[in-house]
Amino acid sequence: MNKKTAISIIIFALLALGITAGTYLVQQNQDIREKAAPLTNISFNPGTLTKLRGQAFTSTSKISTGLNKVTGIDIEIIYNPLVLKIDQMTPTQSISVFTNPTTGQIIKSEINNTTGKARFIAYILNKDLGVTGNLDILTISGTVLNSAPVGSYSITYGALTSIAAVNESQNVLLGKTPLTLNVLSSTASPSSTASPTASPSSTATTVIYPAWDVDRDGRIGILDIGLVVDDYDSTNPVTPRADVDRNGTVDIVDIGIVIDHYE
């Protein structure tokens, strides 16, 4: 074997090895992305508040989307109504694309100081306007009750909290970090901290027929979203097809799936 032939064989072997390694790495990256679809976390800022009885407090609900492009938000806030009351829950400018009637819609914004629950639900129609990054969602203002027992309490994101994102047929929420409220009988300086915790995600099932064509008229339009909104929060919807992802409850993820295919 002459020198030129040997060099050619070595170069060919190196090229073959490079192609094989490159293909493997690409496949690995794809597998990682598929397994990491839920990448969105929500928290409060500040994450800890120390207040006296009768004092007002303010905290902000925040979202970190990771690689998800968010098109729908369903925020459920749970708190102890014997300790505090929420006075206002105001959407921030950061999510104006959800609250502006020309680009989005608010389905629900309500506070129930009897049950200790607040709920905010909104979506955007055009998936190209989906939001990414670290964003403030809601400014939450309230008051510690004069009768509140001294102690430490949690303001949490409830089980109904879910996030819809472009090309994701599941809740993309990964972590929910609560707010800690310390109620004191003497003056104390507020401090803040936050640490993310993971919660399992729910996986939607796939149907053969285009599930997002809720009204079965051959196109995806505002009527499909309207049917989902009509049965929102229902586990026994009037229109069963409104549960687009077939997870047992009509929620923001169903709206997100329809938006992904909106014409």
**73 domain-assigned:** yes
**10 domain-assigned:** yes
Closest C-alpha to 232, from 94, 108, 56: 108
CA 255 to chain centroid, in Å, comes to 13
pLDDT at 166 over 90: yes
111 pLDDT tier (thresholds 50, 70, 90): very high
Are 59 and 142 in the same domain?
Answer: yes
pLDDT confidence of residue 6? 57
pLDDT confidence of residue 99? 96
Q: How far apart are CA 56 and CA 132, in angstroms?
A: 31
pLDDT confidence of residue 263? 74
Are 22 and 50 in the same domain?
Answer: no
pLDDT at 191 over 70: no
Q: Which residue is associated with the tokens 């090895």?
A: 17
Q: How many domains does the chain have?
A: 3
pLDDT above 90 covers what percent of the chain?
A: 67
33 pLDDT tier (thresholds 50, 70, 90): very low
pLDDT confidence of residue 5? 60
pLDDT confidence of residue 29? 46
Question: What mean pLDDT comes out for the span 242-255?
Answer: 93
Domain that holds residue 212: 204-263
Strand partners, 240: none
Q: How far apart are CA 140 and CA 178, in angstroms?
A: 13
Q: How far apart are CA 60 and CA 198, in angstroms?
A: 20
217 pLDDT tier (thresholds 50, 70, 90): confident
The amino acid occupying position 257 is I
Global pTM value: 0.73
Are 155 and 229 in the same domain?
Answer: no
**216 domain-assigned:** yes
Give the domain CATH number at 174: 2.60.40.680
Alpha helices in the chain (DSSP H): 3-35, 96-99, 222-230, 252-260
Write the secondary structure of 165-214 as one string of H (helix), E (strand) and C (coil): ECCECCCCEEEECCEEEEEECCCCCCCCCCCCCECCCCCCCCCCCCCCCC
Q: Is the dihedral angle over the CA atoms 259, 255, 174, 180 positive or is it negative?
A: positive
Are 135 and 59 in the same domain?
Answer: yes
pLDDT at 101 over 90: yes
Weakest mean pLDDT among 24-33, 131-140, 154-163, 238-247: 24-33
pLDDT at 23 over 80: no
Question: What mean pLDDT comes out for the span 145-171?
Answer: 95
pLDDT above 70 covers what percent of the chain?
A: 77
Question: What mean pLDDT comes out for the span 9-19?
Answer: 60
Q: Which of the residue ranges 96-100, 167-171, 208-212 has the most confident prediction, judged by mean pLDDT?
A: 96-100
